[in-house]
Amino acid sequence: MGKYNDSIIPDFPWETIDSDIERWLEQDIGCGDVTSDPLPLDGVRITAEVLAKSKGVASGVGGFLRILKKSDPELVITKAVPDGTQYNTGEILISVTGDARRLLRAERTALNLLTHLSGIASLTSEFVKLTVGTKAKIVDTRKTTPGLRSLEKYAVRCGGGSNHRPGLDASVMLKDNHVALVGSNLEEAIKRIRQINGHTTKVEVEVDDIDMVENAVGAGADVVMLDNMTPDDGREAVQLVGDQVIVEASGGITLENVRDWAESGVDVISVGFMTHSAPSADLSLEFKSLDS
């Protein structure tokens, strides 16, 4: 077990999701836990352990614990690995002790968040490992779950990846629909964008063939995004523009072809798959009874 890349993982402000946690718990509990509430569990305390069923990278540990503590304020934490930790099958990531009934109420919500974010971190780490030795940087996209973007982008950082823009207000990106609307007036569109946003704003333009690469650079783009093109196209684009602009690859990036893309010389590889389709990490929560 070891830290994946702690130099790029700032602490997540878990207190900012308290209102979300309350909604999540309310959604699951409703008017009460009709299974656990009738059971003779008054005063019963248990130890709960998160067990790894396969290897991966942890993310969301703080959120997991915050959900449990929202249900049981007297929760005792005896072990919690830091986010970004690489773990192996059979390892215990988290161990807590608390009220049985209160933990039963919150276990599924807490585990759902932990497995989802750890799944993203684990998949991201696989992409990152395949780019080692190249200059390519693995980044996410805006293809995130509504309401969970900041958490999912945090999970990408836990896995060693980097974040693309967090929202539409963060940076300029002229995508295919924008380009289709402005047509031959791409240069004028970029000029207008710079007039409104200032000279420090970088402009990214999505392209889908080599001719558009030249057009975008000629129109004043700072970044060209190769959309659903091939690694060979990437090599040609890099040779064509040199160090004039940042070259980003996006669309159709998989674990099978990401190395080829990285070796093409592109600067950035954006992968929506990491957030919108990452499988949940295989983690389970095991309960052990204690004397009441």
- Does 108 qualify as catalytic in the annotation? yes
Cα distance between residue 258 and residue 254, in whole Å: 6
* Catalytic residue chosen out of the listed positions 175, 191, 192, 288: 175
Residue 156 to residue 163: CA distance in whole angstroms: 7
10 Å Cβ neighbour count for 190? 20
For residue 8, the model assigns a pLDDT of: 58
CA distances from 245 to 147, 223, 261, 271 (A): 33, 5, 17, 20
* CATH 3.90.1170.20 intervals, the chain: 2-122+279-289
The active-site residue out of 108, 129, 137, 194 is: 108
> Which residue among the candidates 107, 227, 233, 248 is catalytic per the annotation?
227
Helices vs strands, H then E, count in the chain: 10, 13
Contact 57, 121 (CB under 8 A): yes
Pick from 99, 104, 24, 33: nearest CA to 60: 24
Cα torsion 61, 283, 2, 256: sign: negative
Segment 100-111, tens digit of pLDDT: 999 999 999 999
Of the candidates 72, 107, 140, 206, the residue annotated as catalytic is: 206
Look at residue 6 and tell me whether its pLDDT is greater than 60. no
CATH of domain 2-122+279-289: 3.90.1170.20
Q: How many residues are listed for the chain in this entry? A: 292
Strand, coil or helix: 205 = strand
Among 32-41, 212-221, 268-277, name the most confident range.
268-277
For position 245, what pLDDT does the model report? 95
Whether 79 is catalytic is: no
Q: Which CATH class is domain 129-276?
A: alpha beta
Q: How many CB atoms lie within 10 A of CB 20?
A: 15
Query: Across residues 224-250, what is the average pLDDT?
Result: 95
The mean pLDDT value of the chain amounts to 92
Q: How far apart are CA 107 and CA 68, in angstroms?
A: 7
pLDDT in tens, 246-257: 999 999 999 999
pLDDT at position 291: 59
Instruction: Assess whether pLDDT exceeds 60 at residue 7.
Output: no
Which residue(s) pair with 147 in the sheet? none
**pLDDT at residue 5 is higher than 80:** no
Q: What's the pLDDT at 195?
A: 86
Per-residue tokens: 66: 């915050």
Q: Are 114 and 282 in contact (CB under 8 A)?
A: no
Minimum mean pLDDT range among 125-129, 157-161, 181-185: 181-185
Place of tokens 């005896």: 78
Amino acid at 93: L
User: Does residue 66 carry a catalytic annotation?
Assistant: no
How many Å apart are CA 241 and CA 266, to the nearest integer? 11
What mean pLDDT do residues 1-9 have?
A: 51
pLDDT computed for residue 132 by the predictor: 96
Q: Would you say residue 28 has pLDDT above 90? A: yes
CATH 3.20.20.70 in the chain, residue ranges = 129-276
- Has residue 3 got a pLDDT over 80? no
User: Annotated catalytic residue: which of 129, 137, 142, 143?
Assistant: 143
pLDDT for the residue numbered 207: 93
